Amino acid sequence: MQRAARTVVSAAVIVLALDPPAYAYLDPGSGSMMLQVLLGGFAAVGVAARLYWHRLTAVFRRKGVGHDRR
């Protein structure tokens, strides 16, 4: 198993090393799109955390202390 993984990694390194140059560039629109994807990802994580906040904080709460607000 370990030998097969080493062979796959070696083949991937060789293929990537022999890849010809792309002669491409990033225009302002590409940078703007990448920024939007990043900000959208942060927003999605924030929304998911907000939706599951009670479940996330329940792990750190002590049982029997205080009252449940449900």
Q: Which residues are CB-contacts of 49 (< 8 A; sequence separation ≥ 6)?
A: 56
Residue with tokens 């924030």: 46
Global confidence as pTM:
0.47
The rounded distance, in Å, linking the Cα atoms of 62 and 66 is: 9
Locate the domains of the chain by residue range: 2-58
Instruction: Give, for all 70 residues of the chain, the pLDDT tens digit.
Output: 788 889 999 999 998 888 788 888 878 888 899 999 999 999 999 999 899 888 888 888 877 655 555 5
In the prediction, which pLDDT does 16 show?
A: 83
Q: Are 49 and 56 in contact (CB under 8 A)?
A: yes
